[in-house]
Amino acid sequence: MTAQTVQQGDLVTVIGLEVHVQLETDTKIFCGCATEQTDEPNENVCPVCLGLPGALPVLNEAAVEAAVKIGKAIDADIPEETRFHRKNYYYPDLPKNFQITQYDEPICADGELEVAVEGERRTVAIERAHLEEDPGSLQHVGGGGGIDSAEYTLVDYNRAGTPLMEIVTAPDFRSPAEVRAFLAELEEVLEYLGVFDAERDGSLRIDANLSIIPEEEIDGDDTDEIGMDALEAANRTEVKNISSHKGAEKALAYEETRQKNAIQRGRAVEQETRHWDESRGITVSMRSKEEEKDYRYFEEADLPPLRVSGWKDEISIPELPSARRERFQAEYGLSEEAASKLTSTKQVADFYEDVAGEFDPDLAATWVADNLLGELNYRDMEITDIAGRLEEVSRLVELVAEDEITAKNARETVLRSMLDDGAAPDEIVEQEGLGKTGEDEVQQAVVEAIDENPDAVDDYESGDDGAINFLVGQVMQKTGGSADPGDVNQLLRAELE
C-alpha cells in the first residue's frame, strides 16, 4: 500500500485488521436456526448451535455463495477445494469450547481493495478471508456496564452460529484515518454485493493489531514496506470491541498515542489483547495475547472438504462502487464528489440512474445527491426508508424539469412535506398553491413592485445593483413564491431599462 508515514519523532505506526462481517442469510451457517434478531434471549437456538453432544453441523449453501461473491469483489484467489478446522479456546459465549473456522485453507486468499485516502487512491492487500461461525454475545451488567467493572455477565446464544466472514488485511495501514477509509469502502462493497446489512446490530466488528516500530529498525528508506523481522520484533497489541468506522479511528488513535508515549518514556509495550471502552474513550487490558499454537487447530471431522470448482464460475457480482463512480463521471459528466455521493449505496445509485434516464443528469444529481440525501440525513433517514415512494420523488423532479414549480418551493416546501407528512407532490402543490404563476401575472407583479417602491428604483438607477434583490423579493411575495426568481430578475431589469 502506498501510504504516508505517520510518525511521532522516529516512530512508525503499523496496523493490520481482522474484519468480522456477518453474512446476510436466513439461517445460521451450520444449522436451520433463524438469524433474525429478536429481543428474547436464547430463542433462536438448537442442539447444533448450542454445541450439545451428538449434534452434527450441515453447511449453509447461501453462506458459501456470499463468501465467493466477497472473494470475487476483492479479486482474491478462490481455490477449488477448501476445508474447515476447529479453533479451540474457552470463552463463555462459545458453547462448544471450540469454533468451526478455516485455518490454512481459506476460501479466499491474496486479495486486495483500492481505497481513497485524502484524494489519493491506495491498494490494501488482503491476506485471506475465511468462513466461520459467530460466537454468542455477552451483556455486562452493573458497574457501568464495562467489561472490567461489571457485577455479572449474561450470555445470549441467539447469535451463536451466525455465518461470519473474517477478512484479514496485511499490516498496510500507517494511520487510524487510513483504517477508517478502508472500512467505509469495504462496507460499500459488501452492501453492493447484497451479503451484508449495515443496520443490523453487530454486523461489522473489527479487531485491530497495532505496533509501533522505531524507524531505524526498518530496512531501507521506504517505511511503507515493513520487513517481517521488524514486525516480529515489535510487541503487537490487539484491540477488540470495535464496531464502527468512527470507533475504529478513535480506538486506534488512542492506542497509537498510548504506545508512543510509553516508548518515549522508556516503558515496555506489552503484547496483549485490549478492549475498546467506547463510553470512556480508552482501551483497557483484557489478557495476554494468544499465539497461534494456543488455539490447537485441527481439521473439523464432521464436515467434508468444500469444493466450489465450477459452481463459483456461475456466481456473478454486480458493478462495484469504484467502477460505478468512474462510470458516473465519464457517462454523466459528474464531479468526483457528486459521483461519490451518488454511489454511496446501491439503492442511491440505482435511483439516480432511473432519474437521470428521464431528466437532465445534472438536475438529477442535484436532486438526489444534494436535496434528497440532504433532507434524509437531516431526519436521520436512509433512502431505504422511502423505498416505496421513490416514484413520488421522481414526479417532484419532473415538476421542476417541466417548469411547473420553482426549485426553491420544490425543495423547501414540497420535498419536506413529503418526508414529514407523507403527502404526494401534486397534492402538496395544489394545497399550497405552489403552481408557477402565469407570465402575465408575473409581469403585473413586476410593474406593481416598481410603482410601489420608488426608493429602491432610485437606488438601482443610481448604480446600487443590490437594490434589484429587494424588488425581486417584493415580486416573489406578490406571487406567493410561485414565480422563478431568475425570471423575475430579468423582467425587472428589462422594465427598468
Contact indicator for 107, 68 with CB cutoff of 8 Å: yes
- The size of the chain, in residues, is 497
Q: Say which residue, 101 or 9, is predicted with more confidence.
A: 101
Q: Is the pLDDT of residue 446 over 90?
A: no
Average pLDDT value for residue range 448-461: 75
* CATH code assigned to 439-496: 1.10.10.410
Contact indicator for 30, 58 with CB cutoff of 8 Å: yes
Average pLDDT value for residue range 5-31: 86
Q: Give the pLDDT of residue 5.
A: 40
Q: Give the pLDDT of residue 150.
A: 82
**Residue 465 CB: number of other CB atoms within 10 A?**
9
| Residue 477: Cβ-neighbour burial (10 angstroms; 0-12, 13-18, 19+) | exposed
According to DSSP, the β-strands at 163-169 and 7-8 are: unpaired
Long-range contacts from 212-220, C-beta under 8 angstroms, 24+ separation: 212/11, 212/12, 212/13, 212/14, 212/256, 212/259, 212/260, 212/263, 212/269, 213/11, 213/12, 213/14, 214/10, 214/11, 214/12, 214/263, 215/7, 215/10, 215/11, 215/12, 216/10, 218/12
pTM of the model: 0.82
Give the bridge partners for 154, in sequence order.
Answer: 139
The whole-angstrom separation of Cα 71 and Cα 314 is 14
**Residue 252 CB: number of other CB atoms within 10 A?**
27
Q: Is the pLDDT of residue 443 over 60?
A: yes
148-161: b (≥16 Cβ within 10 Å) or e: eebeeeebbbbbbb
Q: Where in the chain is the domain with CATH 1.10.10.410?
A: 439-496
The whole-angstrom separation of Cα 478 and Cα 446 is 9
Reported confidence tier of residue 451, pLDDT bands at 50, 70, 90: confident
C-alpha cell at 42: 436464547
